[in-house]
A and B are shown apart, each in its own frame.
Chain A
Amino acid sequence: MKDNNMNNNYLAKWLNNEITDKEFKSLIGSAEFEAYNKIKINLEKFEAPKFDSEAMLKRIKSKTKSQETKIIRLVPSWVFSAAASVALLLVAYLFVFSDTTLSTSYGQHTAFNLEDGTYIRLNAKSTLSYNKRSWAKSRVINLIGEAYFEVTHGTTFIVKTNMGIVKVLGTHFNVKTNKNYLKVVCFEGKVEVVINGKRTILTKGNAFQFAKDTMSKWHILKNKPSWVNGINTYQNTPLFIIINDLESQFKIDIDASNIDKNLLLTASFDNNNIDIALKSIFVPLNFNYNIKKNKVLLSKK
């Protein structure tokens, strides 16, 4: 034997071909080897009873099915009341523990007040959620899309987006999110924006934008976002963000595959009139647009 390790469970190792016949023979002698080898060879003749896999699966399927139908047919009436109370508990559970979600569809705006008096206005095709139960302790809102906030003074108010976090104490501000895009405009008070651990403080009249890894800041004069009054405005904003908003407002599909969607644009459009809106964005850019039903195809002139 090469080493002592082989003595350890050497029969198992021989069966597993970790030790060759030759090595095994030299270990135990040829008479013993013949006896063991005979066992090994004859073991090959044994077989397990046949297993009819398909037949069993059929039986299992019919059993799980029949159990289901049994429940439907033979439920005693108390089950219904039990089920009703379970449902009630579930609703109560959802009400207490799960997040409250509000969303808007194409072209739809909605405004509402939270328990603490905070006013929120949600732009088209946006979703907002928060936990009612823990609201008193931590004011955290998850946002996809765009919303304008007038926050009542209290504990830190946090807006979480896929791009970063917006923290405030009590102010009026607007948050707009998209894939790889975040815009925060502060209309009153102070706002803190955290993206990838990097903090930016915004004071009254300042706007901040993070698009495709580049950051820009500018001043504004208004005291409310213009979309609240039916006009979307943009400052050095990538075209794809504006296209996305046009799609959300007017429930259209814009095919911009022929043009550069990262073009930065300062523009605005009217929320209420699709023709004027499309004209005001695309005519200055010198783009052609064809409208067919809900589809708009863009091309260069």
Chain B
Amino acid sequence: MTNSVCKPAVYESLYNKHAKDLRNYLYYKFGNLESAEDIVQESFIKLWQKCADVVLEKAKSFLFTISTNMFLNEKNHEKVVLRYKKIPQSDTNIETPEFILLEKEYMDKLQTTLSNLPDGQREVFLLNRIEKKTYKEIAELLNLSVKAVEKRMHNALKYVREKIGNI
């Protein structure tokens, strides 16, 4: 009972530990930021209501499972459109307007490609590349094997490389 999820301190530490990951995972998976945040909120409220039934060790997978289900049941799947920083790669100002234009074209294409990554690969790839989660962490979050995460990473990068072509 010492680590019951019903204890406000335990509950809050779970929130601090998982809320952001959960939001990003849902966003990368389903693309709708507003819905992702709504569902994170809903999931944590559910966790509080069921705190007596959920043991601490299962809380994370409870959150990830019910939020994924909620999304699948109620929300529309949308495309993820990630924003990128428009900071020039070097600050030496030798970039020609043509170069800048090409860069923008490249980034837009990369953006579209990330959006079009197949389901399953996309959230894994973005959790690693953007959230800097290790393969092991991702495997734990999504209940996958590390090998499966590796496979998805490999295929995702392969996909991006194919789509981006030679520009």
Chain A residues close to B by CB (< 8 Å): 9-13, 15-16, 35-36, 38-39, 41-49, 51, 53, 56-57, 59-60, 63-64, 67
Contact = CB atoms under 8 A, between A and B. Distances in A.
B157 A11 contact: yes
B24 interface: yes
A260 B89 CA distance: 78
Nearest to B19: A53
B114 A46 contact: yes
B33 A49 contact: yes
Which secondary structure dominates where chain A touches chain B?
A: helix
A12 B134 CA distance: 11
B139 interface: no
B161 A39 contact: yes
Given A12-B157, A15-B153, A57-B12, A51 B110 contact: no
Contacts of A42: 84, 106-107, 110
B77 interface: no
Interface residues of B, number: 46
Nearest to A60: B44
B15 A16 contact: no
A135 B55 CA distance: 33
Contacts of A46: 82-85, 111, 114, 126, 129-130
B153 A11 contact: yes
B107 A51 contact: no
A136 to B, nearest CB: 32
A12 B150 contact: yes
B7 interface: no
A43 B158 contact: no
Contacts of A48: 24, 27, 82, 126, 130-131
A242 B64 CA distance: 58
A45 B161 contact: no
B5 interface: no
Given A48-B130, A51-B24, A39 B48 contact: no
A89 B63 CA distance: 32
Interface string B150-167: 111110011011001010
A258 to B, nearest CB: 36
B128 interface: yes
